[in-house]
Amino acid sequence: MKGMETNWFWEFVTPHFIQQFSISDILYTGESEYQSIQVLDSPGFGKCLILDGKIQCSEFDEFIYHEALVHPVMIAHPKPETVFVAGGGEGATLREVLAHRSVKKAVMVDLDKQVVDVCRQHLPFLSDGAFDDGRTELLRLDAMKYLEETELRFDVVIIDLTEPLEEGPAYLLYTKEFYRGLLDRLAPGGMMSLQAGSTSMVISYGFSAVIRTLRTAFEMVAPYLTEVPAFGGTWGFAVASRDVDPTRLSPDEVDGRIAERVSKPLRFYDGVTHQGIFSLPKQLRTEMASDTRIITKDQPLFTY
């Protein structure tokens, strides 16, 4: 077709389903000790971070994913002062955490320093100065090992990891053992949130398993989802705690806390959005109710 782009990025979602978008430039490509790294420029999505062939974020819509991951749990907590971030090498999750005026210390642990360095060079708008904020402690460590050894307790823990690929670095952090260990690292009243994978009908099995596994460790688990265009559909998340239920917050309460606590305008998240994202469609609720899998070290979950 005349005028059609000829360079394309292909992502294999399942053996029977792919998604693709055109690219105008390859800004970086390389291999770290743990994974392949690419930074691509796309006419449709802007600059994109790709790890192990999977898109992690795009300039066009990253604000949706990162605001969805961070703000529901931060707003539900009464006063988050200490925050732990696992993963999130591009720095955008940290960026959203530090937008909360109450935060005094944010510890970010990412195993792959090369991802952080590449993003600081090629995608600096994602972190927007968060790595240089005086409240940030950036560590190159294994998140599970750090949480097992540290004496610190956190008001909020945010898990922003890559998908649990069989040869990837993150699959053990989706297990019952990891989630139960997190309980000891939460301060009184502490809460956690995580990205829980695709909720698209073609590949929602991982989301259901993650939510069921979370419920072996936490008394309150609130799953939610939103559309992330670069991910090819809806994406799942969850807030978990011992007793705080974020779904009980009214739109007015959410908007009031945002106005009081958050130091910048938000593009995606507000009170109405908060109310909507926790309303899961019937077919997904039905699938979750029938799923009996528990993810463990001995029986891990792997996605494609």
pLDDT digits (tens, 9 = 90+) for 112-147: 999 999 999 999 999 999 999 999 999 999 888 899
- pLDDT tens digits, residue range 245-278? 999 999 999 999 999 999 999 999 999 999 999 9
Q: pTM for this one?
A: 0.94
User: Residue 3: its pLDDT value, please?
Assistant: 47
Q: Considering only 3-12, 61-70, 221-230, 282-291, which range has the smallest mean pLDDT?
A: 3-12
Domain 62-290 annotated CATH 3.40.640.10: no
Q: 74, 97 in Cβ contact below 8 A?
A: yes
Please state which CATH number belongs to domain 8-56: 2.30.140.10
Helix (H, G, I), strand (E, B) or coil at 251: helix
User: Residue 202: its pLDDT value, please?
Assistant: 64
Catalytic residue among 61, 110, 112, 160: 160
Determine what percent of the chain is predicted with pLDDT higher than 70: 94
Closest CA to 65 of 223, 221, 229, 210: 229
Closest CA to 49 of 103, 96, 114, 108: 114
Contacts for 198 with CB less than 8 Å, ≥ 6 apart? 13, 204, 206, 207, 231, 232, 233, 234, 235, 236
pLDDT at 18 over 90: no
Q: What is the pairing mode between strands 136-139 and 105-109?
A: parallel
User: Residue 291: its pLDDT value, please?
Assistant: 84
> CA–CA separation, 197 vs 200, rounded Å?
9
Q: Where are the domains of the chain?
A: 8-56, 62-290
Average predicted confidence (pLDDT) for the chain: 92
255 tagged catalytic? no
Sequential DSSP letters for 129-145: TGGGSTTEEEE-S-HHH
- pLDDT tens digits, residue range 176-193? 999 999 999 999 999 999
